[in-house]
Amino acid sequence: MYYGNAVVDSAYYDWLLEKINYHDTNYDMVLETLFHTTFTWNVPNDDNRAGDGIVLRSTFMSEENWHTEPCEEYDCSVLEMMVALAMRIENDIMWDGERDRTAKWFWEMFRNLGLDRAKSTLDVHDILEKFLLREYEFDGTGGLFPIGEWAEEDQRDIEIWYQAQLFLMKNFSF
């Protein structure tokens, strides 16, 4: 629980799903697992990604006119981190003024992790463990932002924000 209130937590979860345009049931189990898994890091500055995720709680409260204090005592979830990162990518790097592509960036990361192929909660936990412990490939394959043959440095040692920038430079015009 993020607010100690099941009604607020449920509304917050639904709000996060709205941010990524999720309206079917194909990935319910995966997204719920992301929501209940703590985002941990071991590379300097990735704590900023957790901070961005926690800030979403205040954004939710403001946008939805809830009068409960946002709870910062609970750690950031993987879902919060990924939604916040997708929003930051859209607003700080890829913004074009015509459309909001936050969902596009979220689902790109989702597929890059291989979560679209997870068949069970155990699969999701295995994928997340590999991601959170940085046990993916040198080029980022198995992480949020694989860059393939362009990898000159071990992506496991680079903070997520710079991995995102490399990935976007190599795969999208900006």
Q: Comparing 173 with 87, which gets the higher pLDDT?
A: 87
- Stretch (H or E) spanning 37: none
Which of 153 and 66 is assigned the larger pLDDT? 153
CB 155 within 8 A of CB 140: yes
Asked whether residue 116 carries a pLDDT value surpassing 80, the answer given is: yes
Look at 110 and 172; give whichever has higher pLDDT: 110
Query: Which residue do the tokens 């680079």 mark?
Result: 158
Instruction: Kindly indicate the confidence band of residue 37, based on its pLDDT and cuts at 50, 70 and 90.
Output: very high
CA-wise closest residue to 124 among 105, 137, 135, 110: 110
Query: Cβ of 127: how many Cβ atoms within 10 Å?
Result: 19
Q: In angstroms, rounded to a whole number, what is the distance separating the alpha carbons of residues 79 and 30? A: 10
Residues making up the chain, counted from first to last: 174
Cβ–Cβ under 8 Å, residues 112 and 144: yes
The answer to whether the beta carbons of residues 90 and 100 sit under 8 Å apart is yes
User: How confident is the model over 49-86, as pLDDT tens digits?
Assistant: 999 999 999 899 888 887 766 566 689 999 999 999 99
Work out the widest C-alpha separation in the chain, in whole angstroms.
50
What is the percent of the chain where pLDDT is above 90? 71
pLDDT, mean of residues 35-58: 95
Higher pLDDT, 3 or 107: 107
Quick one: pLDDT at residue 64?
Answer: 86
Model confidence at 7, pLDDT cuts 50, 70, 90, reads confident
Assigned token pair, 71:
């709870």
pLDDT of residue 99: 86
The model's pLDDT over 117-151, given as tens digits with 9 standing for 90+, comes to 999 999 999 999 999 999 999 999 999 999 988 88
Residue with tokens 């679209």, as numbered in its chain = 116
State how far the alpha carbon of 105 is from the alpha carbons of 4, 95, 102, 109, in Å.
30, 12, 5, 6
Nearest Cα to 162, choosing from 84, 48, 72, 29?
A: 48
* Lowest-confidence segment of 15-19, 56-60, 156-160, 170-174 by average pLDDT: 170-174
The percentage of the chain sitting over the pLDDT mark of 70, rounded to a whole number, equals 93
